[in-house]
Structure 1
Amino acid sequence: MVNCCGLVSEKNKPVPLKSISVELQVRDHVASVSSRLQYVNEEEQPLEAVFVFPLPAEAAVCHFSAKIGEQEIVAEVQDKQSARDQYDDAVSSGQQAFLLEESEESSDVFKLSVGCLSPGQKASITIAYIIELSVQADDALRFCLPAVLNPRYKPAAPAAGVPEVSSASVIPYTLSLSVEVRSSDRISRLESSCPLAPLQFLDAQHTHATVNLSPGHCFDKDVELFLYYENSHQPSAVVEAGVSAAQSGSLMGDPALMISLYPEFPADVMSSLASEGEFIFVVDRSGSMDCKMHHGNDAQMRIESARDTLLLLLKSLPMGCYFNIYGFGSHFESFFPQSVVYNEDTMDDALKRVKSMKADMGGTEILQPLKHIYSQPCYPDHPRQLFIFTDGEVWNTKEVLDLVKSQVYSHRCFSFGIGEGASTALITGMAREGSGHAQFITGTDRMQPKVMQSLKFALQPAVGEISLNWTVPEGVTVDMLSPPINALFQGQRALIYAQIKGQSSEKTEGAVTLKYRLKDQPVTNELQFTLKPTEDTGLTIHRLAARSLIRSLEIEERTGGADAENIRRRTVELSIQAGVSSAHTAFIGVNKDSKQTVKGPLLQRRVPVPRMMAACYGAPMRMCAMAPPNLARNSARSRQMVPQMAFRSAMHKRTMAPQMAADSAMRCDAGLYIMGIECDSASYEEEAEPQKDPLLELISLQKAAGCWELNASLAAAFGKTEVEVTNQKAAQVDGSVWATVLALIWLYAYKLDQQVEWQFVAMKAASWIRSQKPDGLSQCVCDGNVLLGCQVTEDTLGI
C-alpha cells in the first residue's frame, strides 16, 4: 500500500491551508526567511491539519508561532519526545496546540501539526528560518524555496488498511513572496525561475533592493532566485554580539564571528589540469528517471539527459586515468568489476553500454552501491572522484551521509540533483561530507554544463595543507565551531563560524590567516576583523553557528559509539539554548489561555503538496487516506502512525508499463504492489525519436586520445560529403590531423556559447595535434576555414 504525503480527507472536503506568504531578507551571503501559513477550518467538526513540507537541508529553523484571533502563541524548543507528548495531551484534552518537527530520517522534511481548530476558526502559522546561500558556477548566490516534496523511497514499506480517497488535481493554495536584499557589495541583478516584478533599488549605490514574485503564482514548483554581486570574491568578516542575559562562556553569551572566504586561485595554476585520477560515475536508473527534465514540449527524459552527459564525460577524461560506471535502483550493477584504465577500447565498451541504459532498475537504493565502491581499493596517485546523479529521495539519508563522511579522506564526491524536489539533504550533504560540490538541475537547465563544471573542479590541482591561524590580543581566544576545511575549489565559498571568548582592554582588532598549498605553491590569504560588534544582526550568525555545530554533533552521535547519549544531550541543550531546530528537538506551542476546549470527534486532514510523480507520468493519481482518529486517542499509537505516513515513504516512485495501467494494483520501484494508483495508458505511447544534437554527434566521433578520423560520419556532422571534406585536404596533411583541425574549427565557430561543455574535448584535441608535430598546420587551418565558412585563428584553437 502506498504511504503518501498528500490530502487525507473525505471526497470533496475543503483543504484547510489557504495561502502561504513568504518574506525573504538577504544580507550578503545569508538569508532570513519568514513564512506565514493561513489555515481555515471550513468543516462542521473540529479539525487537526497536518502539513508535511520540504525546507532546505541547511536551514536553521529559529521561530514558530501561531495566531488565533488576537491570541498569539509563540512555540518553544523542547526535547522531541517531550514536545510530542505535550502536543498529544493538549489535543486529547481539547486544547489548541501546534507542533513543528524535523524528520528523523532527512533534515529537509518537516511536519507541522495544527491541533483542535474549531468549526469556522482561522489560524495563522509563522515559521522562520535562516540559511546560507549557495554559490553557483557563475558566481550567483542561489536561494531555493522548495515547494515539491518528492517521494521518499523505502523498500518493503509496511501495508496499512487505509481507505482510498481522491486528491485535488491542483494545489488549492497560492504563494506570495517579497524579497529584500542588503549588501556590502553592489548588487548586479536578480534572476528567478518564476516571474518577478521589476527589481527596485532603494539607494544610489545599488546595495539595497526589493523585488516581489508576480501575483497569482500557484505554488506548484520550486521557486529559485539567483543573486549576483559585482565583487563576489571579496572576503568578509562579521562579528555579532551575544545575548546579554545568556551565560558568559556559552555560545549565545559570547560574540560570534562569521568569516566568508571565496578565494581566487592563480590562473596559471588552474590552467594545468590533472591527468591522474579515478572517476566513478553513479547514475540513478530508477523508474522516475523516465520523467521529463521539465514541463516544456522539447524536454528530454532524465535518463536521456544522463546518457548524453555520460557521453560528454567519457570523451572528456584524460588518457591514463581510471574509470567505472554504476547504475542503481532497487539493486545496482557496474560496467566493470573494478575501475579500468581509460583508453580507446574501454571507452568504446563503456559507450556501447551507456547507449542501452534505461530507467529500469526499480527504486532508489544508493547505500549498497556506495558501500561496494568504497570497498574497492584505491589506485595510488589516482585520487578517487565520485560523481552521483539522482532525482530521487532515499529513506536513509543520514546513513548515506555518514558513509560518505567516513570515506572523506579517500575520495571527493560531486553530487547532482535532477529535477524539482530533489532532496537538498541528500545532494548537498553528500558533496559536503565528501569535500566536493553539489549542483541542482531544475527547470530548463541543461545537465551537461553543470556536470562539466564539476569535472573541472575534479581535474583541478588538489589543494593541500589547509590551515587557519588566528591573531588576537592577549586575553582573547577563538574557538572554531565549523568543521575543518578539507577541500577548496575555484568558484566555491567557505563560511567559517567561530566563538570569541574573553576580552582585551587594549586592542580591538583580530585577523585570520588562511594558508594552503596549491600545486607546490604556498598561498596565504589574510582577513582583518573587529572584536567589537558594529551592528545588530538579530542573532543570525549565532544561530547559523549553532546549526553548524548541531549538524556536526548529530553526525558524531551516529558514528560515536559509547558517547552517543552524551552527544545527544549536548545537542538538545545547544538546540534549546540557541532556539534552533535539530533532529532531537521540536517546536511546541499550546494555547493554555483558551477558556473553551474542543469537544467531539477530531478529524485529521492532510494538506497536499506538489508531487512530481503524477506530473512525470501525466496520469491522475488516487491518494490514500487516514481514518479519522478519536479525540481521546492513544497518544503513542497516533504519534507512531502519522510520522510513518509523513516521512518514511510518502508516495513511492513507480515504474509503470502500459499493460499495467488498468490494474488497480501496480508495481512500485521495489517490486511491491501498490494499491489505488490509476494511470491513463495513453501516457505511455511511444514518442518519436528526438532529433540528435549536432554537438553530441560530433563529440561521439572523437577518439579517446583526442583525435577524429576522416570518414563519412564526420563529414555528415559538418553537413558535408566525405568527398568534399577529403578533396579540400592538402596532400601532405595526415587525415586524422585534418579531421581534428576541422572539428576544432567547427566547435569554436558554431558552438562557442556551449564551450563549457566541450572545453576538455577541445583541450585533448589540441594536445593531440601538438604531439603530432604536423607540417603545414597554418595552411591546414586556412583550408578548414574555407571549407566550413569560418574565420577561426590558429591561436584560438590552441594548437
Structure 2
Amino acid sequence: MVNCCGLVTDRKEPVPLKSIDAQLEVKDHVATLVSTLNYENKEDKPLEAVFVFPLPGDAAVCHFSAQIGETHIVAEVKEKQQAQEEYDDALSSGQQAFLLEESDESPDIFSLKVGSLPPGESASIRLEYVTELAVQADDGLRFCLPAVLNHRYHPQGSEGPSVQVTSVPASLVPYSLSFSAQVSSPRPISKIESSCSLEPLQYLNADQTQATVKLVAGHKFDRDVELLIYYKDAHQPSAVVEAGQASAKPGSLMGDPVVMVSLYPEFPQSVMSSLAACGEFVFLVDRSGSMSCPMNNSTPQETRISSAKDTLLLLLKSLPMGCYFNIYSFGSSFEHIFPTSVEYSEKTMKEALEKVEKMGSNLGGTEILRPLKHIYSQACIPKHPRQVFVFTDGEVGNTKEVTDLVKKNAGSHRCFSFGIGEGASSALINGMAKEGGGHAQFITGADRMQPKEMQSLRFALQPAVEDISVSWGLPKGVSATVLSPPIKAIFQGQRSLIYAQLTGQVGSPASHFEAGGSVTVKYSLAGHPSQNQLHFKLKPAEDSGLTVHRLAARTVIRSLESEERTRRGQQDEEVKIKVVELSIQSGVSSCFTAFIAVNKDSGKAVQGPLVRRNVPTVKRCPVGATLQKPLIVSSIYECSGLLKLTSCTHLSSSFHFTCDGDLDSERSYPKSVQPHKDPLLQLVSLQKASGSWMLDEDLTAVLGKTKEEVEKAKPELVGCSLK
C-alpha cells in the first residue's frame, strides 16, 4: 500500500515537489528567469524524484544548483553520457545527486532528476535561463512560463521518447507557483498584462522605466503564465556591448566582448506602395485527435480545431484577388482540398470554406512530415512566391526532423507557423518559422488572435528581401565576428537580432568610447537596394552580467547542432566536439551535454533502495461544452484589420461599424448567422472574396442594425464596395 502522506497525484502517489518560486528580470527585450523548486521527502524511504517539464525552446539554460540544509552545490556542464554515468555512480554509492538534461527529441523539454533524497530531507533546486522576448503584433513583448507539457506523438517507425511525461488534470496539480517580475527599459513601460491574475503594477521611478508585478497569491501552476510587456516607442533600434568574462581566455567567445544588435528595418514607402500583392498561399492544418482538446484550462469550451478553423477563415477572407491557394490537413494521413493550388476567386474561396467548415479532429496522430514533403515536391507557380502557413498544437515527437526538412526547402518558400492552444511546442513553432524565413505566432485564446493573423499575412504579402549583407564600421584595431546565422528574412518593422564577437582593443584607447561603432544591414527589395544603419557606443554596459554572451553562445550551439544533424555520418563527431566544448565553456546547455551535481559532503551514505516518484505536469482537460458565452461588443469591426490588404486599403481609414449592447440577445437571426459565434468572425464570414459585403439580412443581423441605419452610415467614398 502506498504511503499517501504529503502531496499526492491522482494515482495517490506522493509528490516530493512542494512549490516553485519564479523570479523574472526583464531588461528591455531580454529576460532572465530564476526558478527555485522546493522538494521535501515526507516518506520513510529515500526517493529519486523525476520531473519532465517544458521550457521555452529558444532559452539558454545557464545555471543549475542545489541547496541541502547548509550545503550549496553548483552543477557543472559535462558531456551527457559522462554526466549520466556520474549520476548513476553517485546513487549506487548512496550519495545525493542532481541531473538536468535536455531531451534528445526537442530542445523545449527538460528532465530534472533529484536522486537519493533521504526521509525527512528537504532540497531547493535553482534553475536559471535567459531568453529573448518576441515582439507581438500589438507591439507587446511576450514572455511565457510554460506549465503545460502535452504528450508528443511519435510517427510509426521513428524512435520513441527518451523521457516519459507524467501528467494530471489541472485541478490536481500538487504544487503551487509564486511568480514575480521586475522590468526595466530605456523607454517608459506603458502596461503589463497576463493570462493569469496579477496584482497591480508598481512603478519604481518617476519616469516609469522600472516596474514590478507579480501573480496574485495562491496561484496553482495549472496553466501557462503568459506576460505581455508594452513599452512606449517599442520599435527603437538598440545595441548592447557586454564585457567578456575576466577568467575566460582572450580570443574565446566568453573572453571577448560581445555586442547584441536589435534592428527594426523600415522599407522605403515608395517601393512598398508600388508592389502588387501576389503569391501562392498553402495552408496546412493539424487535424490530429489532440486538436479536439481545449485551447487552455481557462476556457475549456473553445477547442483547438475550432480556433484553427477560425484563424483559417480570417486569412482566407483576406487574400488578394488573383493569388493562388490550397488547403492541406493532416493527422496520421493527409488530405488536400484541390489537387494543386488554384486561383483565388469567389468560387474557389466558397468551395474551400465549405470544406473547412466540415473539418474535424479525426485524422489520428500528428504526422506532419509527409504532407510537408508533398507540398515541397509540387512545382512553384512563376511570379507567385510560395508562402506556407502551418496550424498545429505542436504535439510531435520528431521536432528536429521537421525543422530540418523546412530548412532544407527554405529556398522555395517562406514558412509562417501558428501554435494553437496552450502547451504548443515552442521549439517546433519557432523552429519552423526561423528555418523557413517566416514568422511564428502563438494563439492560446480568442483575444489577440486577429492582429496576430493579420500581421503574419502582411509579412507574407511583403516581397522576399534578397542579397542580405551585414557590414561593420569599427575603430582601427577592432573587428567583429558575426555569431548569428545569416539573416534569412527581413520584414517591415519586425526585429532582427545580430550577435557579434568583438576582438582587438575594444574600449581602449578612451577615444574609442566616443567614436563608437556602427552596423549596416544592406538588402535588395523588389530590385531596389536599401539599407538600415545603427550607431552604438563601444563602452560595455554596466551590470549586464553575461546574459548577452550566453544568448550568443546559445545561438552558436543551435547552429552547430543543426549542422551536426545535416552532416550526420559525415564528420559529425567533429561538430559534436565543438558543441560540447562551447557548452562547457559558456555554461549553456545543449543536446550533447547535461548539468550534473553530486553532494560529496553529505556525511554518511543514503541507505536502502530508492523509490522513484514522477513529478506530474498539467494534463489537458477533457473537451467541455462548445457553447460560448454571449459577447458584448462596443465596436465590432474596423476595416483596418481585416479588410483586403490590397485593393480595399482606401476603405480602412474611413469606414467602421459600431453597435452597442448584447449581440446575442433574443433577436431573430437568419439561419446562416450563428448567435453564439464571435460577431467579428460572423462579419468576416459574410465578406466576399473582393472585400465587399452584400447588404442583406445576414449582415444587418450581425451588425445589430437595420438596413436603413447601415445605408445611412455608408461613406460615399466606398459606396461601390457595399452592394
Q: Which residue of 1 aligns with 2:715?
A: 793
Q: Which residue of 2 aligns with 1:634?
A: none
Q: Partners of 1:252 and 1:36 in 2: how far apart? A: 26
Structure-2 residue corresponding to 1:513: 520
1:197-212 equivalences under 5 Å are: 197-212=199-214
**For the residues of structure 2 that align with 1:797 and 1:329, how far apart are their CA atoms?**
45
| Structure 2 CA distance for partners of 1:542 and 1:699, relative to 1, 3 Å | closer
The 2-side partners of 1:392 and 1:531 are apart by 41
Paired AA for residue 689 in structure 2: A
CA distance in 2, matches of 1:326, 1:210: 45
Residue in structure 2 matched with residue 98 of structure 1 by the alignment: 98
* Aligned mate of 1:261, from 256, 260, 263: 263
Residue type at the aligned position of 1:202: L
**Could you say which residue in structure 2 is the equivalent of 1:684?**
none
Aligned letter for 2:700? Answer: F
**C-alpha displacement at 1:345, in angstroms?**
3.3
- Which of residues 587, 596, 611 in structure 1 aligns to 2:619? 611
Match of 2:429? 427
- Structure showing the higher helix proportion among its residues: 1
Who is 1:535 aligned against?
542
Give, in whole Å, the separation in 2 of the partners of 1:616 and 1:697.
Answer: 23
1:254-310, Cα deviation, whole Å (9 max, x unpaired): 110100112334556555664211100000001122223345669433222322332
Give the secondary structure class of the aligned counterpart of 1:548: helix
What is the deviation of 1:332?
Answer: 0.8
Aligned residue for 2:500, secondary structure, equals strand
Task: Give SS of 2:314's match.
Answer: helix
Given that residues 272 and 460 in structure 1 are in contact (C-alpha distance below 8 angstroms), is that contact kept between their aligned partners in structure 2? no
Deviation at 1:337, TM superposition (A): 2.1
| Separation in structure 1 between the aligned mates of residue 402 and residue 264 of structure 2, nearest angstrom | 28
CA contact (8 A) 1:151 1:392 kept: no
Query: 1:558 and 2:565 equivalent?
Result: yes
Q: Secondary structure at the match of 1:718?
A: helix
Answer yes or no: is the 8 Å Cα contact 1:278–1:339 preserved in 2.
Answer: yes
Tell me if the contact between 1:384 and 1:412 (Cα under 8 Å) persists in the aligned partners: yes
Query: CA offsets, 1:609-631, max 9 Å, x none?
Result: 1111x34469xxxxxxxxxxxxx
Counterpart AA for 1:18: K
Matched, 1:581 2:589: yes
Residue aligning to 1:33:
33
SS at match of 2:613: strand
Matching of residue 718 in structure 1 with residue 700 in structure 2: yes
Secondary structure in 2 aligned to 1:409? helix
Change (3 A) 1:166 1:457: closer
Q: Residue 660 of structure 1 corresponds to which residue in structure 2?
A: none
Say which SS state the counterpart of residue 218 (structure 2) adopts. coil
Q: Quick one: distance in 1 between partners of 2:206 and 2:683?
A: 49
Matches within 5 A, 1:758-773: none
Q: Secondary structure at the match of 1:152?
A: coil
- Aligned-pair distance for 1:532? 2.9
Which amino acid in structure 1 is aligned with residue 530 of structure 2? V
Alignment of 1:228-267 (within 5 A): 228-267=230-269
Q: In 2, are the aligned partners of 1:277 and 1:385 still within 8 Å (CA)?
A: yes
Q: 1:91 to 1:192 in 2, by over 3 A?
A: same
1:466 is paired with a residue of what secondary structure?
Answer: strand
2:389 is the alignment partner of 1:387 = yes
**Displacement, 1:368?**
1.1
Q: What does residue 280 of structure 1 align with?
A: 282
Q: CA deviation at 1:464?
A: 2.7
Q: CA deviation at 1:352?
A: 2.2
SS at match of 2:571: helix
TM-score of the aligned structures, taking structure 2 as reference length: 0.86
After superposition, residues 647-658 of structure 1 pair within 5 angstroms as none
Q: Is the 8 A contact 2:394 2:429 kept in 1?
A: no
Please tell me whether residue 74 in structure 1 is matched to residue 74 in structure 2. yes
Per mean C-alpha deviation after superposition, the further-off stretch among 387-396 and 9-18 is 9-18
Deviation of residue 718 (structure 1)? 1.4
Inter-partner Cα distance in structure 2 for 1:61 and 1:268:
44
Distance 1:531 1:291, change over 3 A: same
1:46 partner amino acid: P
Distance 1:309 1:186 in 2: 33
What does the per-residue CA deviation read over 1:114-159, in whole Å, with 9 as the maximum and x for residues that have no partner?
0000000000000000000010001110000001101111245879
Per the TM alignment, residue 520 of structure 1 is displaced from its structure 2 partner at its CA by 4.4
Q: What displacement does 1:234 show?
A: 1.0
User: Retained in 2: the 8 A contact 1:9–1:606?
Assistant: no
Structure-2 residue corresponding to 1:85:
85
User: Taking structure 1 as reference, are residues 589 and 696 closer, same or farther at Cα in structure 2, changes over 3 Å only?
Assistant: closer
1:492 to 487, 491, 494: 494
Deviations 1:691-734 (A, max 9, x none): 34554445444443445557xxx3332149xxxxxxxxxxxxxx
The residue that corresponds to 1:17 in the other structure is 17
Give the secondary-structure state (helix, strand or coil) at the position aligned to 2:411. Answer: coil
Q: Structure 1: how far apart are the matches of 2:680 and 2:298?
A: 21
Say which SS state the counterpart of residue 172 (structure 2) adopts. coil
Look up the equivalent residue of 1:583 and give its one-letter code.
C
| Equivalent pair of 1:515/1:525 in contact (CA under 8 Å) | yes
Q: 2:295 aligns with which of 293, 296, 301?
A: 293
Q: Distance in 2 between matches of 1:166 and 1:217?
A: 17
What is the rounded CA distance, in whole Å, between the counterparts of 1:149 and 1:296 in structure 2?
16
Q: Give how far 1:501 is off.
A: 0.9
Residues 589-642 of structure 1: CA distance to partner in whole angstroms, max 9, x if unpaired? 000112110111110000011111x34469xxxxxxxxxxxxxxxxxxxxxxxx
Identify which of 595, 599, 602 aligns with 2:610: 602
Question: 1:48–1:116: 8 Å Cα contact kept in structure 2?
Answer: yes
| Cα distance in structure 2, aligned partners of 1:408 and 1:567 | 23
**Structure 1 residue aligned with 2:551:** 544
1:523 aligns with 2:530: yes
Cα drift, residue 166 of structure 1: 9.0
Distance in 1 between residues matched to 2:491 and 2:712, nearest whole Å = 36
| 1:796 Cα deviation from its structure 2 partner | 7.0
Q: Which residue of 2 aligns with 1:654?
A: none
User: RMSD between aligned alpha carbons?
Assistant: 2.8
Larger Rg over CA atoms: 1
The unaligned stretches of length 5 or more in structure 1 are: 1-6, 619-688, 721-745, 751-783
CA deviation map 1:560-587 (0-9, x unaligned): 2413111110000000000000000000
Give the distance between the partners of 1:258 and 1:487, measured in 2 at CA.
Answer: 18
Identity rate of aligned residues, in percent? 62
How far is the alpha carbon of 1:519 from its aligned partner? 4.0
Within a 5 Å distance, the mapping from 1:2-401 to structure 2 comes to 11-156=11-156, 170-267=172-269, 269-270=271-272, 274-295=276-297, 299-401=301-403
For structure 2, the residue ranges without an aligned partner over 5 or more in a row are: 1-6, 626-673
Pick aligned residue for 2:689 from 685, 691, 704: 704
What is the deviation of 1:10?
Answer: 10
Moved more, 126-135 or 332-341: 332-341
* 1:239 and 1:257 in contact (8 A); partners too: yes
1:758 alignment counterpart: none
Question: Aligned pairs, how many?
Answer: 658
Question: How far is the alpha carbon of 1:93 from its aligned partner?
Answer: 1.0
CA, structure 1 residues 539+297, in 2 after alignment: closer, same or farther (shift >3 Å)?
A: closer
Larger mean CA deviation between 401-410 and 10-19 belongs to: 10-19
Separation of aligned partners in 1, 2:180 and 2:298? 27
Alpha-carbon contact 2:101-2:595 (below 8 Å) kept: yes
Structure 1 residue 8: Cα displacement: 10
The 1-side partners of 2:20 and 2:720 are apart by 54
Give the Å deviation of 1:312. Answer: 2.7
Q: Give the whole-Å Cα distance in 1 for the aligned partners of 2:207 and 2:505.
A: 36
CA pair 792-264 structure 1, distance change in 2 beyond 3 A: farther
TM-score by length of 1: 0.78
